Amino acid sequence: MRWTIQPKPDDTIVTTLAAALDIDPILASLLVQRGITTYDQAKTFFRPSLSDLHDPFLMQDMQHAVTRIEHAIQQQENIMVFGDYDVDGTTSVALMSSYLNTLSSQITTYIPDRYAEGYGVSYKGIDYAHDNDITLIIALDCGIKAIDKVAYAKEKGIDFIICDHHRPGDTLPNAVAILDPKREDCNYPYKELCGCGVGFKLIQALGSKQGQTIDDLLPYLDLVATAIGADIVPITGENRILAYYGLQVINTAPRIGFQAMLTQFKKESLTITDVVFTLAPRINAAGRMKHGLHAVNLLVETDLDIATQYAAEIEIYNSDRKDADRSITEEALVQITTNTEEKRYTTVVYQEDWHKGVIGIVASRLIETYYRPTLVFTKSGDKLAASARSIKGFDVYDALEACTEHIEQFGGHKYAAGLTLHENQYEAFKQKFETVVAETIDKNLLSPELSIHACITLDQITPKFYRILKQFGPFGPGNMMPVFMTENLKDTGYGKCVGSDLTHLKCRVSQHQTQINAIGFSLGTKLDVLQQATPFKAAYTIDENEWNGDVSLQLKLKDID
Whether the predicted pLDDT of 45 surpasses 70: yes
Using CA atoms of 252, 257, 263, 268 in order, give the dihedral in degrees to the nearest 10: -20
CATH number of 164's domain = 3.90.1640.30
Given this model, what pLDDT does residue 532 score?
A: 85
Please state, in angstroms and rounded to a whole number, the distance separating the CA atoms of residues 193 and 241.
11
The answer on 308 and 226 residing in a single domain is yes
How far are the Cα atoms of 120, 165, 266, 268, 302 from residue 221, in angstroms, in the given order?
A: 24, 18, 22, 19, 16
The predicted-structure confidence for 250-298, as pLDDT tens digits, reads as follows 999 999 999 999 987 777 789 999 999 999 999 999 988 889 999 999 9
Q: Which of 446, 467, 482 is the last residue of a domain?
A: 446
**φ, ψ of residue 383 in degrees (nearest 5):** -125, 175
Q: Go through 37-68 and write b for each residue having 16 or more CB atoms within 10 A of its CB, e for each that does not.
A: beeeebeebeebeeeebbebeebbbbeebbeb
Strands 484-491 and 536-547: antiparallel
The predicted-structure confidence for 129-147, as pLDDT tens digits, reads as follows 999 999 999 999 999 999 9
Are the C-beta atoms of residues 144 and 167 closer than 8 Å to each other?
Answer: yes
- Count of residues for the chain? 561
| Apex 474 CA angle, 213 and 498, nearest 5 | 145
Given this model, what pLDDT does residue 317 score?
A: 93
Given this model, what pLDDT does residue 267 score?
A: 76
Whether the predicted pLDDT of 541 surpasses 90: yes
Q: Find residue 375's DSSP bridge partners.
A: 348, 388
Of 302-311, 413-422, 456-465, least confident by mean pLDDT is 413-422
Given this model, what pLDDT does residue 92 score?
A: 98
Q: What is the mean pLDDT of residues 325-350?
A: 88
Instruction: Tell me how many domains the chain contains.
Output: 3
Please check whether residue 320 lies inside any domain of the structure. Answer: no
Whether the predicted pLDDT of 399 surpasses 70: yes
Please check whether residue 301 lies inside any domain of the structure. Answer: yes
Given this model, what pLDDT does residue 338 score?
A: 79
Of 7-21, 80-94, 108-122, 364-378, least confident by mean pLDDT is 108-122
The answer on 440 and 458 residing in a single domain is no
Whether the predicted pLDDT of 308 surpasses 70: yes
What domain range includes position 496?
Answer: 2-47+450-560
Mean pLDDT computed over every residue of the chain:
94
The answer on 400 and 539 residing in a single domain is no
Q: What is the mean pLDDT of residues 197-218?
A: 97
Which of 373, 244, 265 lies closest to 318 in space, CA to CA?
265
Q: Which of 446, 468, 495 is the last residue of a domain?
A: 446
The answer on 239 and 197 residing in a single domain is yes
The answer on 486 and 369 residing in a single domain is no
The predicted-structure confidence for 1-44, as pLDDT tens digits, reads as follows 889 999 999 999 999 999 999 999 999 999 999 999 999 999 99
Please check whether residue 113 lies inside any domain of the structure. Answer: yes
Q: Is 343 helix (H, G, I), strand (E, B) or coil?
A: coil
Please state, in angstroms and rounded to a whole number, the distance separating the CA atoms of residues 425 and 251.
49
Whether the predicted pLDDT of 340 surpasses 70: no
pLDDT range class, residue 199, cuts 50, 70, 90: very high
Are the C-beta atoms of residues 393 and 444 closer than 8 Å to each other?
Answer: no
CA atoms within 13 A on the CB side of 185: 9
CATH number of 354's domain = 3.10.310.30
The answer on 417 and 285 residing in a single domain is no
The answer on 299 and 410 residing in a single domain is no
Please check whether residue 332 lies inside any domain of the structure. Answer: no
Q: What is the mean pLDDT of residues 476-495?
A: 94
For the chain, give the percent of residues with pLDDT over 70. 99
Please check whether residue 18 lies inside any domain of the structure. Answer: yes
Using CA atoms of 522, 527, 528, 533 in order, give the dihedral in degrees to the nearest 10: 140
Please check whether residue 334 lies inside any domain of the structure. Answer: no
Please check whether residue 257 lies inside any domain of the structure. Answer: yes
The answer on 271 and 192 residing in a single domain is yes
The answer on 418 and 344 residing in a single domain is yes
Q: Which of 431, 446, 461 is the last residue of a domain?
A: 446
pLDDT range class, residue 341, cuts 50, 70, 90: low
CATH number of 482's domain = 2.40.50.460
The answer on 500 and 408 residing in a single domain is no
The predicted-structure confidence for 499-521, as pLDDT tens digits, reads as follows 988 999 999 999 999 999 999 99
Whether the predicted pLDDT of 494 surpasses 90: no
The answer on 492 and 532 residing in a single domain is yes
The answer on 381 and 468 residing in a single domain is no
Please state, in angstroms and rounded to a whole number, the distance separating the CA atoms of residues 237 and 191.
10
Please check whether residue 415 lies inside any domain of the structure. Answer: yes
